[in-house]
Amino acid sequence: MGDGKDNQAVKIRVENVGVVRGVPGGSVVIVDDVSFAAGRGETTTIIGPSGSGKSTLIRLLNRLDEPSSGRIYLDDTETGTLDPLELRRRVAMVLQKPFMFPGSVLDNLQLPFRYRNAAPPSADSDEVRRAVALARLSPDFLDREARSLSGGEQQRVNLARALIGRPEVLLLDEPTSALDRPTADHLAATLHDVCRSEQLAIVMVTHDLRLAQHTADHLIYLEKGRVVEEGGAAELLARPQTEAFRQFLAEPAWEKESTDGK
Ligand SMILES: Nc1ncnc2c1ncn2[C@@H]1O[C@H](COP(=O)(O)OP(=O)(O)OP(=O)(O)O)[C@@H](O)[C@H]1O
């Protein structure tokens, strides 16, 4: 497959995926023949200009959107053949803005179990302790009203809620965009550790250069729905191969977002 990953290491494989959507007077290509593989224990980071199809692409991975063409495999199973709820347990997602349901942090962590009609774990269960520890959230938070927490704390509850079902893949769409710089850096360190310790395949969309620098193993640069550059993050960030990517990295907007909140 040309990306140097053996089959054992690959968790998600995207093959020649396209997304075409109808618009008044015709159709628009949003994702154009994209292929990549995301490995266990590594972070695949998707970057690119606004409107390049990043969110659409990541949403295909747990079927929040459906591709118009191509195939996506989780291990060797085509995701289209899996029950969407089961797929979303295995491929969990953390959104840009933390969404807290009314109630305590513990209530929020129990929700995924209630959705599946499974017995919710108690505050002192191994599941809750593990998820809270992985998200670096103090157990003292479990009784707190979730909506009263700060943005950074809520994002950690979001992460714990995604991790409590022991997903194999974690999708993150702009996870730091609502956070200040120190909080974003702290989350980046947490994600880096969780990815390694749990051998999770992380796929992330971000505008945050520092987050990409600190967490990305594998980088995909997208423009107009197409992969323009792909490879090891450190190498690509140090030595962009195309003028398009060089210019993107030099853009003031990218620089600005990477230093906001300092
Ligand atoms: N269902 C749809 N119908 C028509 N156009 C769509 C649809 N969904 C997305 N688009 C368009 O496709 C393009 C890509 O959208 P997408 O949100 O995936 O981009 P993005 O790279 O994540 O952008 P941003 O960085 O601004 O969040 C945009 O121009 C968007 O308006």
Ligand 1, atom 18: closest residue by C-alpha = 53
Q: In a 3-state reduction of DSSP, which class is residue 238?
A: helix
Low-confidence stretches of the chain (pLDDT beneath 70): 1-8, 252-262
Ligand 1, atom 13: closest residue by C-alpha = 51
Q: Tell me which residue of 132, 122, 124, 128 sits closest to 156, measured CA to CA.
A: 132
Q: In a 3-state reduction of DSSP, which class is residue 228?
A: strand
Q: What dihedral angle (degrees, nearest 10) is formed by the CA atoms of 83, 8, 43, 113?
A: 30
What's the pLDDT score for residue 110? 96
Domain over 10-259 is classified CATH 3.40.50.720: no
| 259 CB neighbour count, 10 Å cutoff | 11
The model's pLDDT over 243-256, given as tens digits with 9 standing for 90+, comes to 999 999 987 665 44
What's the pLDDT score for residue 1? 42
Task: Decide if 154 contacts 187 (C-beta within 8 A).
Answer: no
Domain ranges of the chain: 10-259
Ligand 1, atom 27: closest residue by C-alpha = 50
Ligand 1 centre distance from Cα of residue 55 (Å): 7
ipTM of this predicted structure: 0.96
Q: In a 3-state reduction of DSSP, which class is residue 260?
A: coil
CB-defined site of ligand 1, < 6 Å: 21, 23, 28, 30, 48, 50-56
Ligand 1 centre distance from Cα of residue 251 (Å): 20
| pTM for the whole structure | 0.90
